[in-house]
Amino acid sequence: MILVLALIFSITTISLSYIRKSSKVENCTSNEELDKYFSLVAAKVSPQVCFKQLVFCASDLISKINEIEKEKEIIEPLFRDRIVSDAMYDKLNDKLKNLSIDKLLIESESKLYDRNCFNEAKLIKINVDKKYKISDDVFFDKKREALENELYKRLIK
């Protein structure tokens, strides 16, 4: 009797997990910045703020595309040698297709503002990287100087 109940329980668990896995629909736009942009547009925020958010969407999209292309460069030779499965390679291609859809969406939205947000996203990304590198170096240098001074004071005592 216990074996029959265990068998029924295991069959229902396996079938429910299979149904849940098969009915799972992947979100086509996984860009959170793009979702924020559309919420700003729905809230009727000023066009300058909306365009700024659209530029952030574009910079986020560029970084995601670069990451996936780097992965694809690594996986492509492995796929040709049949070390990596077709499913993994197809998954990367699907991600790139979804990101190209997001790119088309961002380009069409940027046409409403008569500006190209991808060019501005590249400029912003370069400036932000330079600022962070400079500030990180300054903080690191200050921290190192403070620690050296503290060590020097301890050595003198």
pTM of the model: 0.59
> Which pLDDT score is estimated for 97?
92
The three-state secondary structure class of 26 is: coil
Structure tokens at 65: 């595309």
What is the structure's pLDDT at 140?
Answer: 75
Tell me what the pLDDT averaged over the chain comes to: 81
Alpha helices in 24-116 (DSSP H): 32-42, 47-80, 86-112
Cα 6 → chain centroid? 43
Residue 156 has pLDDT above 70, yes or no: yes
In this predicted model, what pLDDT tens digit does every residue of 68-80 receive, in sequence order?
A: 999 889 888 888 8
- pLDDT for position 94: 92
> What is d(CA 73, CA 76) in angstroms, rounded to the nearest whole number?
6
How is residue 1 written in tokens? 């009797």
Q: What confidence score (pLDDT) does residue 139 get?
A: 75
Position with higher pLDDT, 95 vs 156: 95
Q: Which of 31-35, 47-51, 62-66, 110-114 has the lowest mean pLDDT?
A: 31-35
| Token pair recorded at residue 145 | 């100087």
**What is the maximal distance between C-alpha atoms in the chain?**
82
Q: What share of the chain has pLDDT > 90, as a percent?
A: 7
Mean local confidence (pLDDT), 52-66: 88
- Conformation bin of residue 44: beta by default, left when phi > 0, alpha when psi is -120 to 50: left
- Per residue in 115-147, pLDDT (tens digit) is 888 888 777 755 545 555 555 567 778 888 888
81 secondary structure, DSSP code: T
Query: What pLDDT shows up at residue 115?
Result: 84
